[in-house]
Structure 1
Amino acid sequence: MSTAVLAAALLTSAVAGEAQSLSATIDGAAFVSDDGGITLIPLGDSSGSFTLVAITAGGSAYPPPKTPLDRLSITCSGLEAGKPLHLDSKHFGRAECDATFARGVKPMGGDPEAEYRLDKRHADNRFDVETAAGKRYAGRFQLHFVDASGAAHVLGDGRFDAEDRQY
């Protein structure tokens, strides 16, 4: 098989039929990601560890945008293929669950304008996979963060529809 045919086959297997989406509000302002800005990576191990990452819509375009981007990252365990999942404050209080939100990340590198870390003690942290079919997962989330000064920030009304696009 030629290199070009192999590359085309691999590329085709990574492209999905339905677009991914993720939206939420952070301190009342919209945070929206698009198909190219969302990555779901289940590790496939016995813990069900996974990472869901999203950047501002349009952030994965080429050429890259010149405006700063926002980036959300959620990492935890418990994800099982084809099954719903409910993570609450008890789960996010453990060391293996975490989330970060970065505001104003420069597309070509550099420090973000602000970084928020998960308030692991907040009772209203939650992440729910409501539907799971094959490699596609959809659900809702709400996370509470603090910035470097200790000020609180709420990432609320979160909804996602993401797909494991690994080979």
Structure 2
Amino acid sequence: MRKGVLRTLITTSLLVLSSGCTTPPASDTTPSPAPGAARPAARPPAEAGGTTEPPPVAVPLLPADAALREFERGKASWYGSRFNGRRTASGERYNMHELTAAHKTLPFGTLVRVRSLVNGKEVDVRITDRGPFSRGRVIDLSRAAAEALGMLGLGVKDVLLLVPASTPP
């Protein structure tokens, strides 16, 4: 029994001592640039082991001169990190940093202008999901869209939905 304990102790000690003899990471062995030479660009935090949020994907905006019609009025809510990365009803993955929304009936891909009836701010969103499922709400916005309307602290806001005149009723 004592031989087994002694053997384990010796093996562990050797492993600990030999771990200090490993090659340093490549970033530690990179030579410094000569004085006055251009420095290499810093690695993005994601490559350096940190995490960054993905950049928002560009959403086609409705043209400023687009013929829009009022589609619906009601309350907007928003959903964020709890659903981030999950599949939406359209099959896309929800990204809370994109300008997207959920609506009960509008076809997926429909562009909608959402206007706050509280502060007049507007944001164009693309329908990618179904919802909201709370009574009295007409649209669920992504976190990015809610932020654009200034409603992150509120949670729910009165809005007007405008759609292109060519969108079926």
**TM-score, length-scaled by structure 1:** 0.22
Structure having the larger proportion of residues in helix: 2
Q: Which structure dedicates a bigger proportion of its chain to strand?
A: 1
Q: Larger Cα Rg: Structure 1 or Structure 2? A: 2
